[in-house]
Structure 1
Amino acid sequence: MFSAESRYAHVPDAVFTGPGGRQIHYRRLRRIPFDIPIQATYVVADGDRFDLVSNTVYGDPLQFWRICDANRGLWPDDLLAVAGRHLDIPEQQ
């Protein structure tokens, strides 16, 4: 269901059984570790987008979520809103 590069690839599935016996399959919550190894720092520039930043540092625009996780970004655009902000760039796994 999810590609191997997806942030949900290693999140376990679960099943909820309702009162009538109906089963609902879902993905459990993804836990973000507190000890994410950092490899570099990136300085935000005007007009930055996470897909472009991720492509620059990882060569893959779909890995933007790693940067968001390392910087505790609930709303990714907020992390890029201020030029000059320093973002932690985690090691690629």
Structure 2
Amino acid sequence: MIEPYERALDEVPGAHPYAPGSRYSGVEIGVHRAPDGTEVRYAKRRLLPALGDLAEESVPHVVSGGERADQLGQRYFGDPGQWWQIADANPLLDPRELTDEPGERIAVPLPGGFPGGMGGPGVRNG
């Protein structure tokens, strides 16, 4: 069943189902048609660009015991929901991996992000 607010988005040209600060805000939305004719909207794959020298576009952070990804998002971006920018810079899908090893160095992107988007190799070298 499609929620009423989702149906409303279908009628607004250019409407995107993800908030501007979401990691999926720039992802293209596809439509799958089921055999019965039902249309299902979905986010197409989000690819991370490869980056050259990460050191110039990030700052290192040494993980402390008990830190969480959302705390890093708040500290560096003023929004706990922006942890994904740090995960992309390292690159990780599970935010727990960012802080599971106290003493490990992780990359934190500079405000405004990396040129060409988030992603690329990390500096996870313990």
TM-score, scaled relative to structure 2: 0.67
Question: In the comparison of the two structures, how many residue pairs are matched?
Answer: 93
Letter in 1 for 2:33: T
The offset of 1:28, in angstroms, is 0.8
Take 2:20 and 2:94, find their aligned partners in 1: how far apart are those partners? Answer: 24
Indicate if the aligned counterparts of 2:62 and 2:105 stay in contact, CA closer than 8 A: yes
CA RMSD of aligned residues (A): 1.6
Moved more, 28-37 or 82-91: 28-37
Take 1:74 and 1:59, find their aligned partners in 2: how far apart are those partners? Answer: 21
The answer as to 2:86 corresponding to 1:71 is: no
Q: Which residue matches 2:41? A: 25
The secondary structure found in structure 1 opposite 2:59 is strand
The offset of 1:18, in angstroms, is 2.0
The offset of 1:61, in angstroms, is 1.3
Structure 1: give runs of 5+ residues left out of the alignment: none
Q: Which has the higher contact order (CA 8 A, sep 6+)?
A: 1
Take 1:74 and 1:56, find their aligned partners in 2: how far apart are those partners? Answer: 20
The offset of 1:91, in angstroms, is 2.3
Q: Which residue matches 1:50? A: 69
TM-score, scaled relative to structure 1: 0.88
Take 1:64 and 1:16, find their aligned partners in 2: how far apart are those partners? Answer: 30
Letter in 2 for 1:74: L
**Cα shift readout 1:35-55 (whole Å, capped 9, x = no counterpart):** 285320100000001111111
Query: Between the two proteins, what is the percent identity of the paired residues?
Result: 31
